[in-house]
Chains A and B, each alone.
Chain A
């Protein structure tokens, strides 16, 4: 059991593809949980929070303040505050890497670039939400046609010696193109490396519209793909910082904001 006088804070991020919950005590992360979002966000919110609390041996009654965020954040009925995912993402990144000025967040349905000031506040941001070609969804689609696990994509793609050049950045057309290339005998790793480059090009476009400032951090599920990380680094010609668990940054930020809220006089 934890000390009874300790204050706990909860951040819940209901994303379009995955939901995450993070529990904080004394400014430090003590547990987190990630589950697919599914169709019912209310149930998802309950499930992901229960999972994170169980890992910390806590119940919802122990939480001093809960902040919800993300696409489905309004479904977290027990949250004290609902904060935009831009603010939560920024807060989370600033906590992990105070030197970061540009955040590239690669989510399940969109990518986003956020510029931070020296106090970790979002100055500007741009989203690519209109096209699956700029999101993690593109990787899922290609992984599906190649019949490989999403986790294998990164390491496998690094073996590529001959990147395939995709004609368009469209996820649908690239799926067909990938099938044609397989029929012609192209190697899986070369197709994957090509997808990474296509996705990196979309992200580069977004970053350049906003202007890049170092350091650069990569977050979201996409940052778990080492092939994509390398491809973005090559394209942007910078080194990047990637959190140990890039998917929970917004949930962590939400929990930090919950703590800030409580500590405010």
Chain B
């Protein structure tokens, strides 16, 4: 039996196909025009796995755009999917900090289930968007900024919280002669402080896992570790955590249905573009 998880994030769309293990995965950006294209991303993942859509037993959609996946059998919140995903990928993790493109959440996890969570999706500070805009302002690539920040000689602190004002401040300091590395160190310090203070509204328990695109930024990971005072865990593909959880929750639902003898309610197995938006 095969299961698919589709995670439509604010910035990235992720699809995972699983049976006992991850068979295929595909990541594409969620641009304004791609919001209709969940089916295309699914087709890619199916091609990679060498499967047809009819082979998929159950499809679960999650993420902020989960409503835009008309071919999903079920929609489940990203909090539940994340908890399930981390329970599978990093079973010792008790706290997950997910740094997404336009949100950030901290989830307390027990046996693959969420116990408590806090999130910010109202303000760009403390989300991946902050890092994107800072990279843009300083003229460095998003994927290089973490590594570059580790070469800093000292931190140039950023006093503004607001992303718009912080970018302005960073650019002004750059023109005053601050080095890109030192500024990046200050920028990672700023976002780590913001995320840590949000996560601290929960009782942070070891092990701590970092997921989402932010986990790919070594500068942010190190800055968060410095706040926590101990190393964190990172899944091999941190972006896929929610999609893996979605596929596994689909598998759970299928097994539950088999056990109870109730039929599994499915959508039509037809890949098409979404015609409604939330």
Q: Specify which of A39, A131, A184 is in contact with B162 (CB 8 Å cutoff).
A: A131
User: Is B121 a contact partner of A183 (Cβ separation < 8 A)?
Assistant: no
B115-147 interface mask toward A, CB cutoff 8 Å, 1 = contact, 0 = none? 000000111100001000100000000000000
Give every chain A residue within 8 A of B80 (Cβ-Cβ): none
Give every chain B residue within 8 A of A141 (Cβ-Cβ): 164
Chain B residue with Cβ nearest A141: B164
User: Is B35 a contact partner of A180 (Cβ separation < 8 A)?
Assistant: yes
How far apart sit A171 and B160, CA to CA, in the bound complex (Å)? 15
Chain A residue with Cβ nearest B129: A172
Q: Specify which of A132, A180, A184 is in contact with B164 (CB 8 Å cutoff).
A: A132
Restricting to B36-63, which residues have a CB under 8 Å from any CB of A?
none
User: Is A176 a contact partner of B102 (Cβ separation < 8 A)?
Assistant: yes
Shortest CB–CB separation between residue B136 and chain A, in angstroms? 12
| Number of A-B residue pairs having CB atoms within 8 Å of each other in the complex | 52
Instruction: Judge whether B19 is part of the interface by a CB distance below 8 angstroms.
Output: no
User: Is B35 a contact partner of A170 (Cβ separation < 8 A)?
Assistant: no
A131-B123, A132-B162, A168-B123 known; A183+B32 contact, CB < 8 A: yes
Restricting to B83-125, which residues have a CB under 8 Å from any CB of A?
102, 121-124
Q: Specify which of A132, A169, A171, A180 is in contact with B32 (CB 8 Å cutoff).
A: A180
Give every chain B residue within 8 A of A184 (Cβ-Cβ): 32, 35, 277
Restricting to A125-184, which residues have a CB under 8 Å from any CB of B?
130-133, 137, 141, 168-173, 176, 179-180, 182-184
Give every chain B residue within 8 A of A169 (Cβ-Cβ): 122
User: Is A132 a contact partner of B165 (Cβ separation < 8 A)?
Assistant: yes
User: Is A170 a contact partner of B277 (Cβ separation < 8 A)?
Assistant: no
Shortest CB–CB separation between residue B65 and chain A, in angstroms? 10
Give every chain B residue within 8 A of A171 (Cβ-Cβ): 124, 162, 164
How far apart sit A152 and B250, CA to CA, in the bound complex (Å)? 51
Chain A residue with Cβ nearest B32: A183
Instruction: Judge whether A109 is part of the interface by a CB distance below 8 angstroms.
Output: yes
Instruction: Judge whether B163 is part of the interface by a CB distance below 8 angstroms.
Output: yes
Q: How many residues of B are in contact with the other chain, CB < 8 A?
A: 21
Chain A residue with Cβ nearest B163: A172
Interface of chain A: mostly helix, strand, loop or mixed: helix
Instruction: Judge whether B268 is part of the interface by a CB distance below 8 angstroms.
Output: no
User: Is A109 a contact partner of B165 (Cβ separation < 8 A)?
Assistant: yes
Give every chain B residue within 8 A of A39 (Cβ-Cβ): 172, 175
User: Is B124 a contact partner of A170 (Cβ separation < 8 A)?
Assistant: yes
Instruction: Judge whether B161 is part of the interface by a CB distance below 8 angstroms.
Output: yes
Shortest CB–CB separation between residue B110 and chain A, in angstroms? 31
Shortest CB–CB separation between residue B201 and chain A, in angstroms? 19
User: Is A130 a contact partner of B161 (Cβ separation < 8 A)?
Assistant: yes
Shortest CB–CB separation between residue A129 and chain B, in angstroms? 9
Q: Specify which of A109, A137, A170, A176 is in contact with B123 (CB 8 Å cutoff).
A: A170
A168-B123, A173-B124, A173-B129 known; A183+B102 contact, CB < 8 A: no
Shortest CB–CB separation between residue B275 and chain A, in angstroms? 11
Chain B residue with Cβ nearest A181: B32
Chain A residue with Cβ nearest B101: A176
Q: Specify which of A130, A132, A173 is in contact with B102 (CB 8 Å cutoff).
A: A173
Shortest CB–CB separation between residue B214 and chain A, in angstroms? 16
Give every chain A residue within 8 A of B10 (Cβ-Cβ): 176
Q: Specify which of A133, A172, A183 is in contact with B133 (CB 8 Å cutoff).
A: A172
Among B10, B31, B32, B161, residue most surrounded by chain A Cβ atoms (within 10 Å):
B32
How far apart sit A173 and B129, CA to CA, in the bound complex (Å)? 8
Give every chain A residue within 8 A of B33 (Cβ-Cβ): 183
How far apart sit A132 and B133, CA to CA, in the bound complex (Å)? 14
Give every chain B residue within 8 A of A179 (Cβ-Cβ): 32
Shortest CB–CB separation between residue A111 and chain B, in angstroms? 13
Chain B residue with Cβ nearest A179: B32
Among B33, B35, B122, B162, residue most surrounded by chain A Cβ atoms (within 10 Å):
B162
Give every chain A residue within 8 A of B121 (Cβ-Cβ): 168
Q: Which residues of B contact A (CB under 8 A)?
A: 10, 31-33, 35, 102, 121-124, 129, 133, 160-165, 172, 175, 277
4 cross-chain pairs, A with B, having the tightest CB-CB distances, nearest first = A183-B32, A132-B164, A172-B124, A180-B32
Given contacts A137-B164, A176-B102, 7 further A-B contacts (CB under 8 A): A39-B175, A130-B162, A131-B162, A132-B163, A133-B162, A172-B129, A184-B32
What would 13 A/B residue contacts be, using CB atoms closer than 8 Å? Answer: A39-B172, A39-B175, A131-B162, A132-B163, A132-B165, A170-B122, A170-B123, A171-B164, A179-B32, A180-B32, A180-B35, A183-B32, A183-B35
